[in-house]
Structure 1
Amino acid sequence: MKPAPSQRHYGMDWLRIGAFVLLIFYHVGYSFTAWGYQTPTRGVVWWAEIPLLGLSAWRLALLFAISGYASAALLARDKGDTVAFGWSRIKRLGIPLVFGLVVVVPPQPYMGLVNSGYEHGYGYYFLHDAFSFQKIRYEYVPRVMHLWFVMHLLAYTLALCALLLVLPRPVRAALRRACEWLLAGPGLLPLGIIAVFLVRSKVPYGWTDMHNLLEDRAAHLHYGGMFLFGYLLRGSEPVRRAIARQWKIAAVLALAGFFWVARDSWLYPGNIRTPEEWRFALVVAKSIESWSAVIALFGIADRFWNRDHRWRATLSEAVFPVYIAHQTIMVLVMYPIRDWGLTALPEFAILCGSVAVGSWLFYLVGREIGPLRPLIGLKRHKGKPRSVIAPNPNGASQGA
């Protein structure tokens, strides 16, 4: 890998930006599948789930791994002060989380209630029902919705801080050496794939990814493990070199895993359950796709994207605010356009465009108003906000 551990890796910034852009397309596309969504569009596009399956196995694992990498960079910037790092992450993630749960998220379940015959206006809903902790018609409120990611990320960050405070430095160094010994050689790909497979298939009560902080047992092992892997990668030259050597093989494996998953979706589309005799092969394919795609994308980011651009700092800063706003904007646009009689393609284009423009405006307005900046995940600036294309002098990724 090109940069020394003390330097900023621009490729990780671009990878993070790209991952969140794909997330928007994923959430919009999800509405055209038979998997179910709170506000479905005019109908199901039978093939829409196939490209989404090219993302679903690895997209969240990648985001948590990037977040772990960024956390290691931020901790290094704080000169290893775990308490200062933890407090900064509580403010940077916790304040937007509370703001999002109170202000940004409530319109989403409200629109679902309106769709099922709820007769009250939004003001009544917000004051009387939004935070009542009960089931109203078909919606349980309050809801976390897409901000589950921020909640999980904050929990993993605080767990990391606890480990750093509890484990003596020699123990941490020994654990790092052991992980490097396992992953810095030919074991990088097979061991990672086996670990993902075991989490997906052998954890008691099965694979759980309900986006529930208290119930996601297997998902915590997967996403928390990817977070720790990203943390390890930031300071491990041997693991970085191993990725540089093996990312092409990982890319081929990821494509092979996706082709098997796509084949399964073609034969058993929508909510048709895969026959039991093919379940093992499907889990293997998803495990291969999940780990291999992350390794391949890390290698690609280092090989081709590790260079700065005048828009990188702005886009990197915008990612978190855009994420906070995107799903609520999507839900608010979905309802009126369902009655326009559009076909799937223009509806998809309108949703993507609306989410992109609305989320970007959310960021632009919020960054220019000082008191709003912490609420949408931005640092509070003492002076005039920086230019839209000004470079970022900090040595670590911003946002989540």
Structure 2
Amino acid sequence: MNRRHDIDALRALAFCLLILYHLAMFYVFEWEWHIKSVHQAEWLQYPMLFVNRWRMDLIFLISGIAAAFLLKTDRVWRFVGQRTWRLFLPLVFGMAVIVPIQPYAQGVSNGLVEPGFVQFLLDYYGGKPWPKDAFDGWSHGMTWNHLWYLAYLWMYTLALALLAKPLASATGQRLLARFAGLRGTALLFLPALPLVFYTLTLQERFPDNGDFIHDWYRNAVYFTVFLYGYAIARNQGFWTEALRLRKQSLAWALGLFVPYLGLAMVLPDEVPFWQQAVIWTLRNLYIWTALLAILGWSHALLNRPFRWLPWANESVYPWYMLHQSLIVALGFWLANYRLGPITEPALILLGTVVGCWSISELVKRIGWLRPCFGLKPRSTPPRVANAQELSGSMP
């Protein structure tokens, strides 16, 4: 199997985008986040909406592609063990060590937690009950915040393991081939229909809450695109068609986003169901055509052995785990200095990049810390992974 440099590069770029997105969440007007700057901008809503609708779908799609190269039907339990070690251990470590600064900063900013990080940690680890809405996840005592992705992906991995043999059957293979064999207009629009259905039937009943158990709308969407990734991973015909359709899919994505954005911004929050259904349909058609365009253009432009890929492959997981805590901590600290709307975000971005780089480079050199950040043992030299190994390097 040829190396899939495009998937490696796309994964790294997707998580870079995630860092910029979370930095922007500190500044976008009227969008709730853990803490907010005094320098909020309404114009940020437009680029944020453009990215927001497909950013996590893309990451779960890539995760499904990666899983397809690692899962072997005769080694399912080995697959489960490897993915648990690579996902669940970093989740537990991250919740205990990396995330706590976020609820502390949010609680102090809300005036519901007393300043003093050491005392907060003692209360946090001790199971102290928190005031209502002190921070996101207050009712559970602890929170996973941005590391929710690891928890959800771990559960989807377990589900995929249970489906491994049915998917490997003749019927399962026909279903996977049927999806990956979509061409032309069918590929542009049919995969969006399940997403439309979930939105119409589940979104209002199960709003996002990040606890997995009650998150049936997001689970339906993300597990579906995860399976999409699994279905298309090894099908060269799909990638050839995505490459051929890259201009059309990009044109459709941009063309669908304009009316979606217009309706979402102009119409009031409370509208008749038929109007809401139109908005949701446009949104999901935009999501899938954007994903297809990203896959097609990535295959065209990124499928080459860039010199930065070996470093990025090993760095992306630690950077993902660290970035949001650094953004929140820096934003919380710099707010005291009343810096301007240019200096403040520039310093937060610089500090986040320097912090992610320095800590991750240290982690890479400490054997016992590597698995806590999802990295393989040091005996495995960093290099561009081939297609069969991609899943092993994925968060």
- Kept in 2, the 8 Å contact 1:28–1:330? The answer is yes
Matched AA of 2:43: W
Q: Unpaired runs of 5+ in structure 2? A: none
What's 2:324 paired with? 327
- Tell me the equivalent position of 1:3: none
- 1:54 Cα deviation after fit: 0.9
Provide the C-alpha distance between the structure 2 equivalents of 1:161 and 1:148, rounded to a whole number of angstroms: 20
Cα displacement (A) at 1:264: 4.1
* CA-CA distance at 1:74 after TM superposition: 2.1
The sequence identity of aligned pairs, in percent, is: 27
Q: What's the counterpart of residue 103 of structure 1?
A: 97
TM-aligned CA distance change 1:266 to 1:352, over 3 Å: farther
Deviations, residues 281-306 of structure 1 (Å, cap 9, x unaligned): 32122112211111000001111110
Q: Give the aligned residue type for 1:74.
A: L
Shift of 1:355: 1.5
Equivalent residues in 2 for 1:22-37 (5 A)? 22-33=17-28, 34-37=30-33
Contact persistence 2:166–2:172 (CA under 8 A): no
Where in structure 2 are the equivalents of 1:1-400 lying within 5 Å? 6-33=1-28, 34-75=30-71, 81-115=75-109, 116-119=111-114, 121-130=116-125, 132=127, 134-137=129-132, 138-139=134-135, 140=138, 141-165=141-165, 169-181=169-181, 183-184=182-183, 186-203=185-202, 205-206=204-205, 208-264=207-263, 266-267=265-266, 273=269, 275-276=271-272, 278-382=275-379, 386=381, 391-392=383-384, 394-395=386-387, 396-397=389-390, 398-400=393-395
Cα offset for 1:260? 2.5
Distance 1:274 1:361, change over 3 A: farther
Q: Please state how far the C-alpha of 1:164 moved relative to its aligned partner.
A: 1.0
Q: Check whether the contact 2:65–2:232 (CA below 8 A) recurs between aligned residues.
A: yes
Measure how far apart 1:46 and its partner are. Answer: 1.2
Cα distance in 1 between the residues matched to 2:177 and 2:11: 27
Code of the residue aligned with 2:85 in structure 1: it is K
Q: What per-residue deviation string (whole Å, max 9, x for no partner) do you get for residues 309-330 of structure 1?
A: 2210111221111010011111
Counterpart AA for 2:116: G
Return closer, same or farther for 1:92/1:154 CA change in 2, 3 Å cut-off. Answer: same
CA distance in structure 2 between the aligned counterparts of 1:213 and 1:126, rounded to whole angstroms = 25
Question: Partners of 1:195 and 1:301 in 2: how far apart?
Answer: 24
Give the Cα–Cα distance (whole angstroms) in 2 for the partners of residues 32 and 90 of structure 1.
35
- Residues 111 and 331 in structure 1, CA contact (< 8 A), matched pair in contact too: yes
The one-letter code sitting in structure 2 at the alignment partner of 1:208 is P
Unaligned runs of 5+ in 1: 1-5
Distance 2:223 2:63 in 1: 10
CA-CA distance at 1:254 after TM superposition: 1.1
8 Å CA contact retained: 2:183, 2:241: yes
On the 8 A contact 2:101/2:325 being kept in 1, the answer is yes
Q: How far apart are residue 165 of structure 1 and its match?
A: 4.3
TM-score by length of 1: 0.89
Cα distance per residue 1:99-143 (max 9 Å; x no partner): 001111111111122221522632322223346274335230201
The amino acid across from 2:356 in the alignment is S
Higher mean alpha-carbon deviation, 128-137 vs 213-222, is at 128-137
Amino acid at match of 2:24: G
Deviations 1:354-375 (A, max 9, x none): 2222112221110011111000
Question: Residues of 2 paired with 1:165 and 1:340: CA distance?
Answer: 58
Question: Residues 37-76 of structure 1, C-alpha deviation per residue, up to 9 Å, x if partnerless?
Answer: 1211013211111110110110000000000101112226
Q: After the TM superposition, which of the residue ranges 163-172 and 188-197 deviates more from structure 2?
A: 163-172
Q: Is the 8 A contact 1:131 1:142 kept in 2?
A: no
2:3 aligns to what SS in structure 1? coil
Quick one: which amino acid aligns to residue 69 of structure 1?
A: I
CA RMSD, aligned part only?
2.2
Instruction: Supply the distance in 1 between the matched residues of 2:145 and 2:185 (Cα, whole angstroms).
Output: 40
Q: Which amino acid aligns with 2:86?
A: R
Q: CA deviation at 1:202?
A: 2.3
For the structure 1 residues 393 and 40, does the alpha-carbon distance in structure 2 shift closer, same or farther, using more than 3 Å as the test?
Answer: closer
**Separation in structure 1 between the aligned mates of residue 144 and residue 94 of structure 2, nearest angstrom:** 9
Pick which of 278-287 and 330-339 moved more: 278-287
Q: Is the 8 A contact 2:102 2:328 kept in 1?
A: yes
The 3-state SS of whatever aligns with 1:143 is: coil
- The size of the alignment, in residue pairs, is 384
Q: Give, in whole Å, the separation in 1 of the partners of 2:183 and 2:157.
A: 24
1:180 is displaced (CA, Å) by: 3.6
Q: In the alignment, is the contact (CA less than 8 A) between 1:97 and 1:151 conserved in 2?
A: yes
Render the CA deviation track for 1:345-396: whole Å, top value 9, x for unaligned. Answer: 32222222222221122211100111110001100123xx84xxx6335542
CA contact (8 A) 1:82 1:165 kept: no
**CA gap 1:322/1:235 in 2 versus in 1, 3 angstroms:** same
Residue 96 of structure 1: CA displacement? 0.6
